[in-house]
Chains A and B, each alone.
Chain A
Amino acid sequence: MNPIPEVLRLVIYLTCLILFAALNAAYLVWVERKGAGHIQRRIGPKEVGPFGLLQPLADGIKLMTKQLFLPAGVDPVLFKVAPILLLVPAVMSFVTIPFSETLVARDINLGLLMIFAFASVNVLGVLIGGWASNNKYAVISAARAVSQNVAYEIPMLITVITMVMVTQTMNLNEIVMQQPNIFKWYVFRFTASPLMPVAFLIFFICSLAETNRAPFDLAEAESELIAGAYTEYPGMGFGVFFMGEYANIVIGCAVTTILFLGGWQCPFGLAPGWWWFLAKLYLLIWTVVWIRWTYPRVQFYALLNLSWKVLIPISLVNLLLTGAMIKVF
């Protein structure tokens, strides 16, 4: 049946996924700068290439040609390991993401679980990077990142449990197949629970917080902590962190798309395919960018209050409601 051996297929997929992550990181920076520019009524990058499209390339060359300098007093091993610890889980999570019905590196039954398992690892990257830097700002940032991630994993996972109760599966491709058109998208599946749109919002807010994006960018709060955990990182060390961050954003938005917005399915039943997946994905990413350039940063206790007093109670209510609905109907 399959002419390509499984090992070779996986190698090709992994190479493509790493390229996808790197390309996304580079061009999301461009999208972000261009978006920020126009939101602030200026142009943004425009000098390098048409519409500044080669700017990421120039930035990449700049980062790569810089010396990988080890500041005095850092832990040399941890300092080098940390960026990789952030990037690798992010790229690994791509393995189970179905870009289309067939375009998926490894269609495993516990795809959803795997992604969240890896998502919990990437906070270690920030923690170790901040700790190894031997910089007070970086340590504060690392501590912030960990407590934030712990606080937001709870409502996120409660929402995911709700979703698994509804979908009865953890296979991402199957979840997508259950949502063939816009009325069957889980965000509008009121027969499962009337709070589904709220669950979608909770999940989206949590993925913002998990990926340290504004307005939850406490770990990288540049007006307080310079660059947070990345303060001491030179050249490509910072570049890898950066790539990991953007890869995490892509993962967060991809999972949201798959769980709530029908993944690669067309909203109105026409030719499903990876293009729908990417369209939805980039729409969500654009929203993330848009949010970043609108709001000020939240305060730390406001962040925790939001998690414990708003998101967790509401997602628990949603969980109970969904359970009841499943039992009744």
Chain B
Amino acid sequence: MSEFALSQTQETFVMNLGPQHPATHGVLRVKLTMDGEYVVRAEPVLGYIHRMHEKMGENRTWAKFLPNTGRMDYLHALAYNHGHVMAVERAAGIEVPERAEYLRVITTELNRISSHLLWFGAFVLDLGGFTPLLYAFDDREQILDLLEGVTGSRLTYCYYRFGGVYNDVEDDFLVGTKAFISRLRSRLPMYHGLVTKNIILIKRLKDIGPIPPDMVTRYGATGPVARGSGFNFDLRKNEPYSVYPEFDFDIPVYTECDSMARYMVRMDEMEQSMRIIEQAIDKLPEGPVKAKKVPKTLKPPAGDYYCAVEAARGSFGVRIVSDGTNTPYRLKLRSPTYSNLSLFEEASEGMLLADALALMGSLDLVIPEIDR
């Protein structure tokens, strides 16, 4: 393909993809230097939805930052909740009751499935197929209903608290979750028949947008992007946190490095998440859902703490520097899509516009999380 991409003597033109463009799913702007339909250089321009989450965190107490976490990656808000509460719990030395940990795992994994479902729909929409989006939404809606019954909100959750969760679940949530899992299991073959095995989709994704392993390491890409390039790296296994070590699940890894590999990683991850949820529901212990001794004004001892969780898009890291007061001295958030997007410039060089957009879709970008 690259032999078509012309040399610098040829005329190029600059095209703005975004900040308002159907394929960027948000306010991302990509400055494309094009040669006909070939992308010579794609330069992502960030900052259109920068809200200073880190600075906001440094100006308010630890607990007051909780609602912010759900507003970075609004599609996998619970993982961000989880990352922040875990980092603060680690700093303040709060023990979390086992039942709360199980509930966190169940809700996070449900949220992960919903995030992947939305990505699936939006990705196929990028490729021009409308209908899978609506089918995915049909299933996602079930998850949102379930989570709404527990957390009270549908998108920007704020469910976890330091030392536990906001409130206990009722039995109908557990029954509903099991029913949903059997429903999704019966729907996944339909998705594969309609989309995965479709020859048009295979032609559009196979060998398109290769991200070689060395590019993954250079840019620090994580999550399905890294796993689609052959890295068996998932924080739930590599740096086990919460109660993940107690479950039996696999990390889907594909070595093809192309968009299809990243697509398959996410489709397989949904199945693995369902396995985790099933086991967690079966093993769910009785007990309190909130630690007893959580001080009202939290003052973690001075120090430097880091905690990372596996969000739907990769590793989400929270680094907090405490000076022993009731506000963080420094709060640094490592969001996965920022790294995943930064490799786009190099990976998309010499690609056709449509292929570059397929590559961008396969990175699963959530813009508010990139800008924070």
Interface residues, chain A, with chain B CB atoms under 8 Å away: 36, 39-42, 136-137, 140, 143-144, 214-215, 217-218, 221-224, 226, 293-302
CB of B130 within 8 Å of the partner chain: yes
Q: Is the CB of B130 within 8 A of A293?
A: yes
How far does the Cβ of A6 sit from chain B's closest Cβ, in whole Å? 47
Q: Which of B21-80 contact A (CB under 8 A)?
A: 21-23, 34, 36-37
Q: Is the CB of A298 within 8 A of B13?
A: no
Given contacts A296-B127, A296-B201, contact A223 B357 (CB under 8 A): yes
CB of B93 within 8 Å of the partner chain: no
Q: Is the CB of B15 within 8 A of A136?
A: yes
The docked-state distance in angstroms from the alpha carbon of A293 to that of B128 is 9
Contacts of A40 in B (CB 8 A): 130-131, 134-135
Q: Is the CB of B126 within 8 A of A223?
A: yes
Q: Is the CB of A298 within 8 A of B131?
A: no
Interface hit among B164-172, B213-221, B348-356: B348-356
0 or 1 for each of B197-222: is its CB under 8 Å from A? (1 = yes): 01011011000100000000000000
Of all chain B residues, which has the CB nearest A294?
B131
CB of B194 within 8 Å of the partner chain: yes
Given contacts A136-B15, A293-B130, A293-B131, contact A302 B357 (CB under 8 A): no
Q: Is the CB of A298 within 8 A of B126?
A: no
Of all chain B residues, which has the CB nearest A144?
B37
The docked-state distance in angstroms from the alpha carbon of A295 to that of B208 is 19
CB of B124 within 8 Å of the partner chain: yes
Contacts of B291 in A (CB 8 A): none
The docked-state distance in angstroms from the alpha carbon of A298 to that of B36 is 19
Q: Which of B297-339 contact A (CB under 8 A)?
A: none
Contacts of A221 in B (CB 8 A): 128, 354
Q: Is the CB of B128 within 8 A of A136?
A: no
Contacts of A36 in B (CB 8 A): 130-131
Knowing that A226-B21, A296-B198 touch, tell me 8 more A-B residue pairs with CB under 8 angstroms.
A140-B36, A214-B128, A295-B198, A296-B195, A297-B127, A297-B200, A298-B203, A300-B37
Of all chain B residues, which has the CB nearest A139?
B13
Q: Is the CB of A223 within 8 A of B134?
A: no
Of all chain B residues, which has the CB nearest A42?
B134
Contacts of B37 in A (CB 8 A): 140, 143-144, 300
Q: Is the CB of A299 within 8 A of B352?
A: yes
Interface size class of B (residues with CB under 8 A): 20 to 34
Q: Is the CB of B200 within 8 A of A296?
A: yes
How far does the Cβ of B17 sit from chain A's closest Cβ, in whole Å? 9
Contacts of B198 in A (CB 8 A): 295-296
Q: Is the CB of A224 within 8 A of B353?
A: yes
Contacts of B34 in A (CB 8 A): 136
Q: Is the CB of A226 within 8 A of B22?
A: yes
CB of B125 within 8 Å of the partner chain: yes
Of all chain B residues, which has the CB nearest A298?
B200
The docked-state distance in angstroms from the alpha carbon of A113 to that of B134 is 43
The docked-state distance in angstroms from the alpha carbon of A299 to that of B352 is 9
The docked-state distance in angstroms from the alpha carbon of A170 to that of B357 is 45
The docked-state distance in angstroms from the alpha carbon of A135 to that of B352 is 19
How far does the Cβ of A201 sit from chain B's closest Cβ, in whole Å? 15
How far does the Cβ of A34 sit from chain B's closest Cβ, in whole Å? 14
Of all chain A residues, which has the CB nearest B357?
A224
**Which of the residues A143, A294, A298 comes within 8 Å of B194, measured between beta carbons?**
A294
Q: Is the CB of A296 within 8 A of B352?
A: no
Interface-central residue, A223, A293, A298, by most chain B CB under 10 Å = A223
CB of B148 within 8 Å of the partner chain: no
Given contacts A140-B353, A226-B21, A296-B198, contact A217 B130 (CB under 8 A): no
How far does the Cβ of B315 sit from chain A's closest Cβ, in whole Å? 29
The docked-state distance in angstroms from the alpha carbon of A39 to that of B130 is 10
How far does the Cβ of B202 sit from chain A's closest Cβ, in whole Å? 10
Of all chain A residues, which has the CB nearest B126?
A223
CB of B129 within 8 Å of the partner chain: yes
Q: Is the CB of A302 within 8 A of B200?
A: yes
A–B complex contacts, Cβ < 8 Å, 20 sampled: A36-B130, A36-B131, A136-B15, A136-B34, A140-B37, A143-B36, A217-B128, A223-B125, A223-B357, A224-B23, A294-B131, A296-B127, A296-B128, A296-B201, A296-B204, A297-B204, A298-B204, A299-B354, A302-B200, A302-B204
Contacts of B22 in A (CB 8 A): 222-223, 226
How far does the Cβ of A309 sit from chain B's closest Cβ, in whole Å? 12
Q: Is the CB of B131 within 8 A of A39?
A: yes
Given contacts A42-B134, A223-B22, contact A300 B128 (CB under 8 A): no
CB of B346 within 8 Å of the partner chain: no
**Which of the residues B13, B128, B131, B208 comes within 8 Å of A297, measured between beta carbons?**
B128
Of all chain A residues, which has the CB nearest B4?
A301
Q: Is the CB of A41 within 8 A of B352?
A: no
The docked-state distance in angstroms from the alpha carbon of A217 to that of B200 is 13
* 6 shortest interchain CB distances as A-B pairs: A297-B128, A296-B129, A40-B134, A296-B127, A302-B203, A223-B23
CB of B239 within 8 Å of the partner chain: no
How far does the Cβ of A158 sit from chain B's closest Cβ, in whole Å? 23
The docked-state distance in angstroms from the alpha carbon of A162 to that of B341 is 52
CB of B138 within 8 Å of the partner chain: yes
Given contacts A40-B131, A222-B22, A293-B131, contact A136 B200 (CB under 8 A): no
Of all chain A residues, which has the CB nearest B124?
A296
How far does the Cβ of A136 sit from chain B's closest Cβ, in whole Å? 5
Of all chain A residues, which has the CB nearest B132?
A296
**Which of the residues A42, A140, A222, A295 comes within 8 Å of B200, measured between beta carbons?**
A295
